[in-house]
């Protein structure tokens, strides 16, 4: 294609016309203008002839348009009236089955549709009116360069400079620099106030969870303790520490302490530590994804994979919950568990590492 362009240019250059597209332009140049008996470029033919509309020529068509516009406005009034009546007349809990939509709230549908009719009637009517009856001869408005005249620009610059001179800025550097310093600093108190008071320092809040040695594992949300014998093969329990019932910050503690409890055949567990930290094939892992913290809620019984529904990180429970797919990097932290004297599952130690998403000081 480029070769074609060049060919053109050469041929045209023969004719004494400018070589359009034939020569590159110097960096400091604009477009090449040509000379010759033909203009280099086509000229703008000006506005095309105006084509009148039916309503411009035929009074009957105009009358028809008038009636159509009025009909749309009429529909609008009707819609508004329906809304006003429906607001009082339709009970809020009434349901109706609509094909393609399903069970729907009658009040919502009638109010919304009538509101829409009220709006659309005005809108379509007005646009139809503009298109059929209002002037459709295009108007030409001239543009003027946005730039101010040289005089005005010089005037502006000298006003600014004179202002500085009149204020003796150039003669009194002490004022200039001290003002610069003051203006540079004055916002700091406001910034400090808002930034400093937004919240407490994290300290070890991200690294510690409420789990402690001896804390019973209880079902979420029933808060009942779990016997090791209750945990059958293939089952999964959503678990919280028993101590959470005394917590003053239930949601905050839950966001860190949520744990999944699963029972596997001990022989398919491939990591010795995982087996040791569990109890007869029962293992407990943090439910908080190490990616951005969604609950890793989906357990595949057959493959022993845990899947996070937010970004699809997949953890293999037989391999100490190592990441086998997805954007997470770290395995889910394991909670070391054992049983107490009554046969209930308890934590044998707090989490060894921080649960949840990574952060800088995690180490």
Partner 1 sequence: MSTAGHTASGAGRLRANDPKPEAPVSPGLKAVGGVAGWVDERTGAAKGVGYLMKKVFPDHWSFMLGEVAMYSMVICLLTGAFLTFWFVPSAGQVSYDGSYIPLRGMMMSEAYASTLDISFDIRGGLIIRQIHHWAALLFIVAISVHMLRVFFTGAFRKPREINWLIGAQLSMLALVEGFAGYSLPDDLLSGTGLRAAEGFMRSIPVIGSYVSYFVFNGPFPGESIIPRLYAVHVLLLPAILVGLFTAHIVLVALQKHTQFPGPGRTNENVVGYPVMPVYAAKAGGFFFIVFGVVALMSALVTINPIWAYGPYDPSPVTAGAQPDWYMGFADGALRLLPGFLEFEAFGFTFSFNVMIGAILLIPVMYGLLSLYPFLEQWVTGDKREHHLLDRPRNNPTRTALGMGAMTIYGVLMFAAGNDIMAIKLGLSINDITHFLRAAFFIAPPIVYWVTKRICLSLQRRDRDLVLHGRETGRIIRTAEGRFYEQHEPLDPYTRWNLVQHEQHQPLQLTAGTDEHGVAAPHARRERVRAKVSHFYFNDRVEPVTPAELEAAHHDGHHVEEIEQQEPGGAPLVEVAPSGSAESPDAAARHRH
Asked whether the beta carbons of 330 and 352 are under 8 A apart, the reply is no
With vertex at residue 60, the alpha carbon angle to CA 56 and CA 61, rounded to the nearest 5 degrees, is 55
On the question of a cis peptide bond just before residue 221, with omega within 30 degrees of 0, the verdict is yes
Q: How far is the CB of 34 from partner 1 (least distance, A)?
A: 8
Residues 6+ apart with CB under 8 A from 98: 104, 109
Structure token digits, residue 77: 């009034």
Please pick, from the candidates 52, 54, 63, 87, the single residue that binds partner 1 as defined by CB under 8 A.
87
Q: How far is the CB of 165 from partner 1 (least distance, A)?
A: 30
H or E stretch at 256: helix 250-257
Q: Does 157 bind partner 1 (CB under 8 A)?
A: no
| Touching partner 1, residues 317-356 (CB under 8 A) | 323, 325-330, 356
Q: Does 195 bind partner 1 (CB under 8 A)?
A: yes
Residues 6+ apart with CB under 8 A from 225: 216, 217, 218, 242, 344, 345
Please pick, from the candidates 51, 59, 97, 146, the single residue that binds partner 1 as defined by CB under 8 A.
146
Task: Report the interhelical angle of 106-132 vs 59-89 (nearest 10°).
Answer: 160
Q: Does 248 bind partner 1 (CB under 8 A)?
A: no
Q: How far is the CB of 262 from partner 1 (least distance, A)?
A: 16
Please pick, from the candidates 51, 182, 190, 201, the single residue that binds partner 1 as defined by CB under 8 A.
201
| Touching partner 1, residues 113-142 (CB under 8 A) | 113, 115-127, 129-131, 134-136, 138-142
Number of residues that bind partner 1 (CB under 8 A): 120
| Touching partner 1, residues 265-324 (CB under 8 A) | 287-288, 291-295, 297-298, 309-313, 323
Please pick, from the candidates 1, 51, 182, 190, the single residue that binds partner 1 as defined by CB under 8 A.
1
Asked whether the beta carbons of 296 and 259 are under 8 A apart, the reply is no
With vertex at residue 251, the alpha carbon angle to CA 250 and CA 254, rounded to the nearest 5 degrees, is 85
Q: How far is the CB of 119 from partner 1 (least distance, A)?
A: 3
Which residue number, 1 or 174, has a Cβ lying nearer to partner 1?
1
Q: How far is the CB of 265 from partner 1 (least distance, A)?
A: 25
Please pick, from the candidates 52, 74, 163, 202, the single residue that binds partner 1 as defined by CB under 8 A.
202
Residue with the two structure tokens 């809020």: 92
The DSSP result for 149-206, as a single string, is PHHHHHHHHHHHHHHHHHTTTTT-HHHHHHHHHHHHHTTHHHHHHHHHHS----TTTT
Among candidate residues 118, 117, 90, the one with its CA nearest the CA of residue 106: 90
Q: Does 71 bind partner 1 (CB under 8 A)?
A: no
Q: How far is the CB of 282 from partner 1 (least distance, A)?
A: 19
Please pick, from the candidates 51, 92, 191, 272, the single residue that binds partner 1 as defined by CB under 8 A.
92
Find the part of the chain contacting partner 1 (CB under 8 A) among 104-112, 210-218, 224-232, 277-285. 104-112
| Touching partner 1, residues 162-191 (CB under 8 A) | none
CA separation (Å) from 85 to 110, 115, 117, 211? 10, 12, 14, 59
Which residue number, 61 or 75, has a Cβ lying nearer to partner 1?
75
Which residue number, 128 or 176, has a Cβ lying nearer to partner 1?
128
Find the part of the chain contacting partner 1 (CB under 8 A) among 181-189, 222-230, 251-259, 275-283. 251-259
| Touching partner 1, residues 27-46 (CB under 8 A) | 27-28, 30-32, 36, 38-42, 44-46
H or E stretch at 219: strand 217-219
Q: How far apart are CA 10 and CA 36, in angstroms?
A: 15
Which residue number, 110 or 347, has a Cβ lying nearer to partner 1?
110
């Amino acid at each position: 294609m480029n070769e074609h362009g060049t060919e053109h240019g050469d041929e045209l250059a023969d004719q004494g016309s400018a070589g359009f597209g034939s020569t590159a332009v110097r960096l400091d140049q604009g477009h090449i203008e040509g000379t010759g008996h033909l203009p280099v470029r086509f000229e703008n033919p000006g506005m095309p002839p105006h084509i009148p509309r039916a309503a411009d020529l035929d009074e009957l068509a105009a009358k028809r348009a008038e009636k159509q516009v009025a009909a749309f406005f009429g529909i609008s009034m009707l819609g508004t009236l329906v809304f006003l009546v429906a607001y009082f007349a339709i009970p809020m809990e009434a349901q109706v089955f609509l094909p393609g939509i399903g069970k729907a709230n009658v009040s919502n549908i009638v109010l919304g549709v009538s509101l829409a009719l009220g709006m659309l009637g005005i809108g379509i009517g007005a646009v139809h009116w503009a298109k059929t009856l209002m002037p459709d001869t295009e108007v030409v408005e001239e543009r003027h360069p946005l730039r101010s005249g040289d005089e005005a620009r010089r005037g502006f610059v000298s006003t600014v400079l004179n202002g500085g001179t009149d204020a003796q800025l150039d003669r009194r550097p002490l004022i200039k620099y001290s003002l610069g310093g003051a203006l540079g600093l004055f916002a700091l108190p406001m910034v400090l106030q808002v930034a400093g008071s937004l919240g407490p320092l994290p300290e070890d809040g991200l690294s510690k969870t409420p789990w402690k040695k001896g804390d019973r594992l209880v079902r979420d949300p029933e808060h009942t303790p779990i016997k090791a014998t209750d945990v059958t093969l293939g089952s999964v329990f959503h678990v919280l520490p028993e101590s959470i019932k005394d917590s003053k910050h239930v949601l905050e503690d839950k966001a860190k302490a949520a744990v999944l409890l699963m029972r596997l055949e001990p022989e398919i567990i491939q990591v010795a530590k995982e087996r040791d930290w569990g109890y007869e094939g029962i293992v407990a892992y943090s439910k908080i994804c190490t990616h951005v913290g969604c609950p890793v809620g989906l357990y595949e019984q057959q493959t022993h994979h845990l899947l996070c529904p937010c970004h699809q990180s997949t953890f293999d429970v037989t391999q100490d919950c190592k990441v086998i797919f997805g954007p997470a990097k770290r395995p889910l932290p394991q909670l070391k568990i054992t049983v107490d004297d009554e046969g209930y599952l308890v934590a044998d130690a707090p989490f060894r590492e921080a649960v949840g998403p990574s952060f800088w000081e995690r180490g």
